[in-house]
A and B are shown apart, each in its own frame.
Chain A
Amino acid sequence: MTGLAKMADQEEITLSVQGLRKVIGKREIIKGLDFELKRGEVFGFLGPNGAGKTTTIRMLVGLIKPTAGTIRICGYDLHRQFPEATGSMGCIVENPELYTYLSGWGNLQYFARMMPGINEDRMDEVVRLVGLSTRIHDKVKTYSLGMRQRLGIAQALLGRPKLLILDEPTNGLDPSGIREMREFIRYLAEHEGLTVLVSSHLLSEIQLMCDRVAIISKGSVIRVDTVDNLLSQQEKVSWRLTPLAKGELLLRELAGSAEVKGDKVLTPYNELEIGRWNQALVESGVTVTEMSRRLPSLEDLFLELTGGESID
């Protein structure tokens, strides 16, 4: 279930970025990025606006030429083997911009003609996958943003990519649309084995959907880690217990770790387990006088890491 477990199973690398730099004029926008994406993981790309997220994403999909560094997609060098590299990648950069004067189906046909080996069955398949079957023959200009987003994903999936790059995929969607998108991305990673790179400035979103996160600020990656790892340092439950020592011992056993801070015990937060822990404490005669969730999140971590740089 966790990203860590999956990484252990499959070490196949679908995207590798080494020493990526971009200089525009005299300004160094991207100052040497290194990271790797493994098969089947959802990788979050997090950073404030202006941190270089968009530039990096555009270099990854071949819209901007890097000043230095290599990008390999499924082993193909993006610069030297452009058709092969982009052939194993699907992407939506910012809003899904499509030809509004064509129908959804017309758009898919259009893209299908640019890739080898895509037939109508595959097109039907992706249309079903994104749930657009009823409206696919209408003109795209009549579509809502959510539908356009789905059609965008359909075109990105059309060529059976191994890597999906999504730039701000939930931008402009309503809450239910955001949830739908999130579930869909998880589905793709878990059931279709896709590697997904998602960029976002919304921490909550990244937190809910990604296995690993790279935090980028001022053109550099300042941290790459699993969401669990990052959060485990931050998200805690504090317990006020009597007697304290017994309770701490018990919690250490139950939650894996526990530390005493003042008159409270801090443990990692686990939504599913926490009720059981409480029950176990009570059953063994420890009185729980206060149990409060500390709500730190990536936000805190982010602020900590970037030294207070605002995220929006």
Chain B
Amino acid sequence: MINLVYNEMVKITGKRRLVVVTLIIAILISLFTYAQFQQAAENRKRFGDVDWRTALEQRIAGWESRLANGSGRGDEGELEMRIAQQRYYLDRNINPSEPGAPTFVRGFVENGITLLLPLMMMIVAADLVSSEHSSGTIKVLLTRSVRRWRILLSKYLALMLSVSIIITLFGVLSTVISGLVFGFQGWDAPVLTGFTVTGGELDTSGVRSLPQWQFILMELGLAWFVSLVVATITFMLSVLVRTTAAVMGIMLACLIAGTILREMVESWETAKYLFMVNLELIDYLQDADPPIAGMSLGFSLLVLLVWGIGALIVSFVSFTRRDVY
């Protein structure tokens, strides 16, 4: 089996897929780093005269007074953590609006999880099987003395490996590129998490702070999961549809429909069972409303898992049964 997986990796690297993905990611990260750098410069120009340290101190003082006079009903825990969070910046002399690489990475993963990363997975997964059809090599592949399910499994394992390495590249590249511009400070800055939504209201009772590096690790873990599911669904399409372009088209339509659906149809409740509406896993860790009521991290993970397993079953059944012409 390891030989088969090795073969698939030879093909993926032979087609320079990983190089393409790496380049796209690197270029985008450079772009966003530059954009953020510009924004920071702009902000400094506009609010330049305000010393961020005094602004921060005022903010903390405000929160402390709220804590002291008891006007923060039920939010005491959150307030304390926000104060601790801002204190961290103050103590380490980091301007919170011009943070270092870790904060950039955190934001970038958050934004990349719904579209950018799935698209990258699509590039690798889309032609994994369909290209064998269009180039005719499926005939050489399936007349080997290897059962079909083993061939497909090797392809899937190679895909899993590629997904993993792309997430790693994503993390490493964004750290290095943004770090060169913003510096590498702030790995243990506290990040607030643990928000839950109960009865339509944000429940802050479970809020706690995590060091930023742990939060990034958790984010990338979620991004990995999302990417894997998207890759699996693309993989299924690649088995079912014979041309790579069609696979890409369908997948692109799904992903873009997902971003639109998330924005628009909070009234269409059954949409929450679609995989593309459930990609924004990281938002559940932060204080954001779910796009549709009744969605939670557990729910979204479950929906994605079911889709992934379903896609895998369809792929294997179709691939092992189908006649090749």
B-chain residues with CB within 8 Å of residue A61 when the two chains form the complex: 139, 143
**A62, A95, A106: the one within 8 Å of B143 (CB):** A62
Minimum distance in angstroms from B4 CB to a CB of chain A: 7
Minimum distance in angstroms from A159 CB to a CB of chain B: 7
In the complex, A246 has a CB within 8 A of chain B = no
Please encode chain A, from 87 to 123, with 1 for each CB lying within 8 Å of some chain B CB and 0 for all others. 1010101111111111000100011011100000000
Contact (Cβ within 8 A) B10 A102: yes
Contact (Cβ within 8 A) B143 A91: yes
B-chain residues with CB within 8 Å of residue A184 when the two chains form the complex: none
Contact (Cβ within 8 A) A93 B139: yes
A-chain residues with CB within 8 Å of residue B11 when the two chains form the complex: 99, 102, 110
Minimum distance in angstroms from A82 CB to a CB of chain B: 6
Question: A82–B149 Cα gap in the complex (Å)?
Answer: 12
Q: Which of B308-325 contact A (CB under 8 A)?
A: 321, 323-325
Q: Which residue on chain B has the smallest CB distance to residue A116? A: B145
A-chain residues with CB within 8 Å of residue B136 when the two chains form the complex: 94-95, 97
B-chain residues with CB within 8 Å of residue A294 when the two chains form the complex: none
Minimum distance in angstroms from A196 CB to a CB of chain B: 16
Contact (Cβ within 8 A) A83 B145: yes
B-chain residues with CB within 8 Å of residue A111 when the two chains form the complex: 140, 144
Question: A83–B4 Cα gap in the complex (Å)?
Answer: 14
Contact (Cβ within 8 A) A106 B137: no
Question: A148–B136 Cα gap in the complex (Å)?
Answer: 14
Q: Which residue on chain B has the smallest CB distance to residue A87? A: B145
A-chain residues with CB within 8 Å of residue B321 when the two chains form the complex: 65
Q: A99-B11, A110-B7, A114-B7 given as contacts; is B146 within 8 A of A83 (CB)? A: yes
> For chain A, what secondary structure do more than half of its interface residues adopt (helix, strand, loop), or is it mixed?
loop
In the complex, A201 has a CB within 8 A of chain B = no
Q: A93-B139, A98-B140, A106-B14 given as contacts; is B323 within 8 A of A114 (CB)? A: no
Q: A64-B325, A155-B140 given as contacts; is B3 within 8 A of A113 (CB)? A: yes
A-chain residues with CB within 8 Å of residue B10 when the two chains form the complex: 102, 106, 110
Chain A residues bordering chain B, tally (CB within 8 A)? 32
Minimum distance in angstroms from B147 CB to a CB of chain A: 6
**B6, B137, B324: the one within 8 Å of A63 (CB):** B324
B-chain residues with CB within 8 Å of residue A114 when the two chains form the complex: 3-4, 7, 144-146
Please encode chain A, from 273 to 284, with 1 for each CB lying within 8 Å of some chain B CB and 0 for all others. 000000000000
Question: A102–B6 Cα gap in the complex (Å)?
Answer: 14
Minimum distance in angstroms from B197 CB to a CB of chain A: 50
In the complex, B142 has a CB within 8 A of chain A = yes
Contact (Cβ within 8 A) B144 A86: yes
Contact (Cβ within 8 A) B139 A63: yes
Minimum distance in angstroms from B158 CB to a CB of chain A: 13
In the complex, A58 has a CB within 8 A of chain B = yes
In the complex, A84 has a CB within 8 A of chain B = yes
Q: A58-B324, A58-B325, A100-B135 given as contacts; is B143 within 8 A of A93 (CB)? A: yes
Q: Which residue on chain A has the smallest CB distance to residue B136? A: A97
In the complex, B15 has a CB within 8 A of chain A = yes
Q: Which residue on chain A has the smallest CB distance to residue B145? A: A87
Minimum distance in angstroms from A203 CB to a CB of chain B: 25
Residue of A101, A114, A115, A159 with highest tally of chain B CB at under 10 A: A114
Minimum distance in angstroms from B259 CB to a CB of chain A: 34
B-chain residues with CB within 8 Å of residue A94 when the two chains form the complex: 136, 139
Minimum distance in angstroms from B97 CB to a CB of chain A: 47
Question: A84–B146 Cα gap in the complex (Å)?
Answer: 9
Contact (Cβ within 8 A) A82 B3: no
B-chain residues with CB within 8 Å of residue A85 when the two chains form the complex: 145
Question: A102–B15 Cα gap in the complex (Å)?
Answer: 9
Minimum distance in angstroms from B318 CB to a CB of chain A: 13
A-chain residues with CB within 8 Å of residue B3 when the two chains form the complex: 113-114
Contact (Cβ within 8 A) B145 A101: no
A-chain residues with CB within 8 Å of residue B6 when the two chains form the complex: 113
Question: A111–B325 Cα gap in the complex (Å)?
Answer: 21
Q: A99-B11, A113-B3, A114-B4 given as contacts; is B143 within 8 A of A63 (CB)? A: yes
**Sample of 29 A–B contacts (CB below 8 Å):** A58-B325, A62-B142, A63-B324, A64-B323, A64-B324, A64-B325, A65-B323, A83-B147, A85-B145, A87-B145, A91-B143, A93-B139, A94-B136, A94-B139, A95-B136, A97-B135, A97-B139, A100-B135, A102-B10, A102-B11, A110-B10, A111-B140, A111-B144, A113-B3, A113-B7, A114-B4, A114-B144, A114-B145, A159-B145
A contact set with B: CB distance below 8 Å: 58, 61-65, 82-87, 89, 91, 93-102, 106, 110-111, 113-115, 155, 159
Question: Contacts A97-B140, A99-B11, A114-B146 given; 8 further ones with Cβ under 8 A?
Answer: A61-B143, A63-B143, A83-B147, A86-B144, A96-B140, A102-B14, A113-B3, A113-B4
Which 5 A-B residue pairings sit nearest by Cβ, starting from the closest? A97-B136, A87-B145, A63-B324, A64-B323, A113-B3
